[in-house]
Amino acid sequence: MKKRVFSGIQPSGNPHIGNYLGAVRRWAPLQSEYDCIYCVVDLHALTVYQKPEILREKIFDTVAILLAAGIEPEKSIIFVQSHISQHAELAWILNTITPISELERMTQFKDKAKKNKVNVNAGLFDYPVLMAADILLYNAEGVPVGEDQRQHVEIARVIAKKFNNLYGDTFKLPEAIIKKEGARIMSLSDPTKKMSKSDDDPLGCVDVTDSPEAIKEKFKKAVTDSGTEIIYRPDKPAISNLLTIFSSFSGMAIKDAENKYQNTGYSKFKEDLAEVVIEGLAPFQKKYADIDKNQDFVLEVINSGAEKARQLAEPMMEEVRKKIGLD
């Protein structure tokens, strides 16, 4: 049998190219190697206030994005987290064995709390436990994530080990599946910060659904380093980030890209980079536009995926309940 992988994506807006390169684009090829489960993690999205009518739309759109990225319902399970109540049930049970000290050291909580001081809620603090429940509920052995999510997979392993020690072998210990190249795409307006939908400067983030004109404009205005040398180096974070994006979309090694543009300036390189990104996103954007017109198909995928996920989740919860004395 194939090993199982689980990964989730928040319905907090169209993914940007960092999400696309670091996660979404990588998910489709995994279908040939693994038993794949992909989840729209709408409960996680609630750690930041969401307008209900917009959240409903974004959940739907995110499923369409997964389908456009090549996730096939015949090969993978695609579902919405809140449709499977066992996620919340298992999260509460795991809460009762998770040390506060483990959650306090999570760097993502610290970073997000600084950015969102007016809404540092318990859900934001407890986010890793729900993520652990997402993974462990399906006995996933692999979790394709970006480098910034590695710590969340590690705490899922800690929680699984503690449960297994207390109640007997129940959960498999998941491993993070991380591709180094292109795993961390930085803002076009501030290369010291990760690309984010919440970037203060909208020009810093390239959405996967951006028009060619918007993509050209964003790369044209992308910040660069002093000098004109196009080289990947720690003291040139801006151009290094652009080279990473160029390599990820073109398939050209960074060293080869450096050689190709060694005698050109930033302007020419950024023009070519924009074209490479536009060309790279074109098949996805076409498929997304087609799927977006077929709302009934998307709804069918959501309902079918929920049923498949429930058939896996409930037997696991029955085992957990029995082991801890609730059944």
Task: Tell me the catalytic residues.
Answer: 112, 194, 197
Within 224-265, residue ranges assigned H as helices are 237-250, 254-260
CA distance linking residue 36 with residue 140, whole number of Å: 9
Residue 171 structure tokens: 């959960």
Q: In what order do the strands lie in the sheet with 142-144?
A: 76-80, 35-40, 4-9, 142-144, 175-177
**CB atoms closer than 10 angstroms to residue 251:** 10
CA distance linking residue 47 with residue 136, whole number of Å: 21
Q: Which residues contact 59 (CB under 8 A, 6 or more apart)?
A: 11, 40, 42, 80
Q: What DSSP designation does 326 have?
A: -
